[in-house]
């Protein structure tokens, strides 16, 4: 319960910052991210208790880094018009995938590797970890809007952490018959046709 409140509180802080961004700039993307973070906060509040949660500190570190290192992105570097336009499209697709993933997960939403039941509907019928796919799209969109070595390095680190999270979750669920059957049906983890 405490972890759920911390997660909901963190998402609420981000939601507020995006709402503030919208009020200051009148850029619609602020409302889009506000809605996404509000959905994350609600998901933390309604999630069901896990049957099994990782006790490995490295799994928790990966979850923390994969979720929060993105706050280190900065709007510095080059801002090519094509990158700004393409970046917004990637971010909108990423937010849509986040929303569909959370709605598909329902009460099975989590932070670190845990067993809250196997979800196979919606974007989970395409890849096994669509939330991490959405984070890749969101980060790539930001990078295209603000091209810099710093932002590229942050994207690489976040992506590696989320790849590690995917492996940690699969390790935790390795003895679940339902998960093994699901893994045989949905072959890719994050990127359709690749990995």
pLDDT for 74 equals 84
The C-alpha torsion from 72 through 90 and 113 to 65, rounded to 10°, is -10
* Structural domain boundaries, residue 36: 1-46
Q: What is the pLDDT of residues 26-47, one digit of tens each?
A: 777 777 778 888 887 888 887 7
Q: Are residues 58 and 148 in the same domain?
A: yes
Asked if residue 60 and residue 10 are part of one domain, the reply reads no
Residue 26 and residue 65 in one domain:
no
CA dist list (Å): 130 to 85, 96, 97, 119, 190: 23, 11, 7, 11, 6
- Length of the chain measured in residues: 195
Q: Which is higher by pLDDT, 75 or 183?
A: 183
Print burial letters for 71-82: b (CB count within 10 Å at least 16), e (below 16). eebeeebeeeee
Query: 127 and 159 share a domain?
Result: yes
**pLDDT tens sequence across 101-124:** 988 998 888 888 999 989 999 999
End-to-end CA distance of the chain: 33
How many domains in the chain?
2
Same domain, 139 and 74: yes
């Amino acid at each position: 319960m405490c972890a759920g409140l911390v997660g909901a509180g963190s998402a609420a802080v981000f939601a507020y910052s995006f709402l503030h961004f919208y009020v200051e700039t009148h850029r619609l993307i602020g409302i889009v991210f506000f809605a996404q973070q509000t959905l994350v906060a609600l998901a933390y509040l309604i999630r069901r208790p896990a049957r099994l949660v990782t006790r490995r500190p490295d799994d928790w570190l990966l979850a923390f880094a994969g979720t929060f290192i993105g706050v280190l992105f900065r709007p510095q570097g080059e801002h090519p018009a094509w990158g700004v336009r393409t970046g917004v499209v990637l971010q909108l697709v990423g937010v849509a995938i986040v929303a569909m993933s959370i709605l598909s997960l329902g009460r099975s939403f989590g932070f670190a590797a845990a067993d809250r039941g196997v979800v196979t509907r919606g974007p989970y019928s395409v890849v096994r970890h669509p939330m991490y796919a959405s984070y890749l799209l969101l980060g790539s969109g930001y990078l295209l809007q603000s091209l810099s070595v710093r932002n590229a390095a942050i994207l690489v680190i976040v992506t590696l952490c989320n790849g590690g999270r995917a492996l940690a979750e699969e390790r935790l669920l390795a003895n679940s018959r339902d998960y093994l059957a699901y893994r045989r049906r949905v072959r890719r983890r994050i990127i359709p046709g690749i990995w």
